[in-house]
Amino acid sequence: MSRRLSRREFVTTTAAGAAVTAAVPTVSKAAETPGPAIIVPTGVRPVVIASANGNFHKNGGSKTCVETAFSLMTGGTDVLEALIAGVNIVELDPEDTSVGYGGLPNADGVVQLDSCCMHGPKKRAGGVAAIEGVRTPSKVAHAVMEYTDHHLLVGRGAQEFARNFGFPIEADLNTERSRKAWLEWKRQTDPKHYLRPQDRQQGARLDNQQILRRMIADGMTPPRHYWGTINCNGVNPRGEIAGVTTTSGLAWKIPGRVGDSPILGAGLYVDGTVGAAGSTGRGEANLFNLSSYLVVETMRQGKHPKDACLEALRRIRANTVEKRLRKPNGDPNFNVTFYAVNAKGEYAAVSLYGESDDERGWAGQTDGRRVRYAVCTEGGAATLPCEALIPGALQDV
């Protein structure tokens, strides 16, 4: 019969994990610093793949998410714990307003966070949705996996679970930046009550897309942060596979809205014998198709990660039939990107569209509009352009 872990034991275990993290040497520049020399089983190439913000934000430190995760997992840390330590950097960095602390809030001005994780060798998973007050929902998702018989906890229950396990609960995860962006959104959606001085004589309400475009033009929020998330998947030197996805969700969402990120098979799916896949972009499109599961199942058939991602994107394209979600030419008017890796360490990142105006300013991109992803191998970390299903840019008609 299993013994229930006490809070003291949990904190001790967590502290030990933190000590391992602190002991890893720092790296100054991701793309210039090779990873550690490692011995791998025949045919396995250790790798970490993530969305582009995984090789940009450092939260004041010297390493990015993918650098941290790769260094830890090739140094002996459990593959999932290494990936979670990586995404924690982005969750805690207030400069990324799409994840964790300082994430763009819901329509009521409350930051609600979602996350899930899957451990290939253990064949276990955990997730939280609409959790408030915890900066690192990925760590709570991991605790759900390790210490409960459940896969998903939501809302108040998820928060109480986190409190019981010693996670600090904060009254408000907004930063000055995220609150300022929310107030601007309120002024434009509810001008009768939240006045913007230059619009005192204007009573017309704008729709969300019009408001978003105006806020982007005014520099209130980076365009990609409206949809942003971080997915991070990895294969360690022993061929063990895991993945984690974490997000603050759609900006200004209806309170309680949950997208694909914490849902197994949608925002993330891992099979320890096949590979892992996760996504960023329009969560509703991914949820409807359970696309990450489809990517992994397609890899199970022997397809390369690139071809598996393309198959899932074709499914999304075919199932997008509502006029409001289609451009005049019939293609989707949104973007979705998949990040996949198989058990050999082969990887790919593929988007519906390889270019988008929304990418300007995202994860350090100062010019151009390429949709990009992050990867770290023995050769170091890099940010690379994604492959695409549909030629051209999202904004092309």
Residues 236 and 205 in one domain: no
pLDDT of residue 214: 63
Determine, yes or no, domain membership for 20: no
Strands 347-355 and 387-393: parallel
The two three-digit tokens of residue 117, written as one number: 């994780």
- If asked whether residues 325 and 184 sit together in one domain, one would say no
Asked whether residue 286 falls in the same domain as residue 208, the answer is no
**Residues 6 or more apart from 240 whose CB is under 8 A from it?**
79, 120, 121, 272
The CATH number of the domain holding residue 114 is 3.60.20.30
The residues annotated with a catalytic role in the active site are 229
Is 183 a member of any domain? yes
Predicted TM-score of the model (pTM):
0.83
How far are the Cα atoms of 78, 97, 223, 226, 364 from residue 212, in angstroms, in the given order? 40, 15, 8, 8, 20
* Domain carrying residue 216: 176-220
Cα–Cα distance, 222 to 97 (Å, whole number)? 9
Residue 123 has a pLDDT of 98
User: How far is the CA of 5 from the CAs of 12, 146, 148, 388, in angstroms?
Assistant: 11, 10, 10, 46
pLDDT for residue 316: 98
Residue 346 lies in a domain: yes
Q: Count Cα atoms within 13 angstroms, Cβ side, for 153.
A: 23
pLDDT for res 279: 96
Q: Are residues 70 and 112 in the same domain?
A: yes
255: which 2 tokens? 């309170």
Q: Which two tokens mark 68?
A: 């941290």
Considering the domain architecture, whether residues 234 and 368 belong to the same structural domain is answered as yes
What's the structural domain count of the chain? 2
- Say yes or no: 253 and 330 in one domain: yes
Tell me, yes or no, whether 354 and 252 share the same domain.
Answer: yes
Is residue 328 located within the same domain as residue 193?
no
Closest CA to 189 of 205, 172, 174, 169: 205
- 314, part of any domain: yes
- 5 within a domain of the structure (yes/no): no
Strands, E, within 212-310: which ranges?
230-235, 241-247, 268-271, 275-281
Residue 14, in any domain of the structure: no
Residue 395: the pLDDT is 87
Say if residue 198 is in the same domain as residue 257: no
Other C-beta atoms lying within 10 Å of the C-beta of residue 179 = 16
**Amino acid 384: pLDDT:** 96
Return averaged pLDDT per consecutive 10 residues of the chain, 397 residues in all.
47 42 36 48 87 95 98 98 98 94 95 98 98 98 98 98 98 95 84 51 50 59 62 97 96 93 98 97 95 98 98 98 94 96 98 83 64 96 97 89
Q: Do 232 and 108 fall into the same domain?
A: yes
The reply to whether 319 and 297 lie within a common domain is yes
For tokens 């991701």, name the residue.
Answer: 30
**Per the domain annotation, does 134 fall within a domain?**
yes
The reply to whether 341 and 229 lie within a common domain is yes
Residue 46, in any domain of the structure: no
- β-pairing, 230-235 vs 47-51, is antiparallel
Contact present, 114 and 261 (Cβ < 8 Å): yes
